[in-house]
């Protein structure tokens, strides 16, 4: 009883000294707020919804099995056979990802991975995964940032979903120019050959799930899958925190 009173008192003092604010709108968060967003921003976060492309996971407001980019013969060339995401990459998620990636707010990994774990059950295909593999950064970029945000997500998610995480076998061998400004085909070409699997034995014959923060065209994931399939992975899928639409 005394201990619990002390804990509340300590939380109250910390709240007065260091009030937490919503990552998206900047409003003060109430004492004891569970996450990094205020209730209004949390409610405004867009879900992927029940209709999405069976291949790339793109939300499809009008229904159908596949989006425009995954119809017909285009699918057969894909090495990453399936992409799923927990959230749509709207303004609130963008603010969270930005803080997580560029402002050292690594403690957000637990909250974000918890959300990915909650949404995991919506996608029964993900249950096939035997190994989680974070999308690697180029060593130079990782040194500058100090951490790989996808690896932090994969580690937390691995614990929650009881799956092993391998952050050594896949490496980025080419520091590709920014994808911004490239069209869809350009992005795919830009990422082809950018990754290599340095420990083929770790992925051979396995169903691998790539983990990343945001999927846009899927070109980065495809680049990773290309390297993993060439190393003998049986199947490559991907699960990302957010999906840009």
Q: Quick one: which segment of 1-9, 34-42, 74-82, 191-199 binds Zn ion (CB under 5 A)?
A: 34-42
Q: Quick one: which segment of 52-60, 144-152, 166-174, 185-193 binds Zn ion (CB under 5 A)?
A: 52-60
H, E, C per residue of 190-242? HHCCCEEECCHHHHECCEEEEEEEEECCCHHHHHHHHHHHHCCECEEEEEEEE
Q: Quick one: which segment of 24-32, 107-115, 127-135, 140-148 binds Zn ion (CB under 5 A)?
A: 24-32
Does position 245 interact with Zn ion (CB under 5 A)? The reply is no
Does position 190 interact with Zn ion (CB under 5 A)? The reply is no
Instruction: Please say which residue, 84 or 172, places its beta carbon nearer to Zn ion.
Output: 84
Does position 55 interact with Zn ion (CB under 5 A)? The reply is yes
Task: Please provide residue 172's backbone torsions phi and psi, each rounded to the nearest 5 degrees.
Answer: -95, 120
Select the residue interacting with Zn ion from 29, 41, 170, 219 (CB under 5 A). Answer: 41
C-alpha to C-alpha distance for 167 and 154, rounded to whole angstroms: 9
Does position 210 interact with Zn ion (CB under 5 A)? The reply is no
Nearest to 59 by CA among 84, 79, 35: 84
Strands (E) across the chain are located at 80-88, 131-134, 170-172, 195-197, 207-215, 235-243
Does position 24 interact with Zn ion (CB under 5 A)? The reply is yes
Q: Work out the number of other CB atoms within 10 angstroms of the CB of residue 47.
A: 13
Q: Quick one: which segment of 58-66, 185-193, 200-208, 213-221 binds Zn ion (CB under 5 A)?
A: 58-66
Instruction: Please say which residue, 50 or 146, places its beta carbon nearer to Zn ion.
Output: 50
Q: Closest separation between CB of residue 141 and Zn ion, Å?
A: 28
Q: Closest separation between CB of residue 212 and Zn ion, Å?
A: 16
Do residues 126 and 85 touch, judged by C-beta distance below 8 A? no
Does position 53 interact with Zn ion (CB under 5 A)? The reply is yes
Do residues 232 and 205 touch, judged by C-beta distance below 8 A? yes
Residues 62-101 that bind Zn ion (CB under 5 A): 67, 70
**Coil, strand or helix: which one is 82?**
strand
Residues engaged in binding Zn ion (CB under 5 A): 22, 24-25, 38, 41, 53, 55-56, 58, 67, 70
């Amino acid at each position: 009883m005394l201990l619990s009173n002390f804990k509340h008192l300590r939380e109250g003092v910390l709240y007065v000294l260091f009030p937490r604010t919503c990552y998206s709108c900047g409003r003060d968060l109430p004492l004891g707020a569970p996450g990094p967003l205020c209730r209004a921003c949390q409610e405004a976060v867009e879900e992927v919804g029940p209709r999405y492309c069976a291949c790339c996971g793109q939300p499809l407001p009008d229904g159908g099995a596949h989006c425009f980019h995954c119809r017909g013969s285009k699918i057969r060339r894909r090495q990453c056979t399936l992409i799923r995401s927990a959230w749509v990459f709207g303004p609130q998620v963008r603010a969270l990802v930005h803080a997580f990636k560029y402002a050292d707010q690594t403690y957000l990994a637990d909250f974000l991975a918890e959300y990915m774990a909650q949404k995991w059950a919506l996608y029964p295909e993900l249950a096939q995964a035997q190994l989680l593999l974070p999308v690697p950064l180029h060593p130079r970029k990782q040194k500058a940032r100090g951490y790989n945000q996808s690896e932090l997500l994969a580690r937390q998610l691995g614990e929650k979903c009881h799956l092993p995480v391998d952050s050594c076998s896949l490496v980025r061998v080419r520091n590709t120019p920014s994808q911004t400004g490239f069209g869809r085909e350009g992005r795919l070409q830009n990422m082809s050959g950018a990754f290599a699997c340095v420990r083929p034995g770790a992925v051979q014959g396995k169903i691998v799930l790539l983990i990343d923060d945001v999927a846009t065209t899927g070109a980065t994931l495809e680049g990773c899958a290309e390297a993993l399939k060439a190393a003998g992975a049986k199947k490559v899928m991907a699960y990302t925190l957010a999906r840009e639409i």
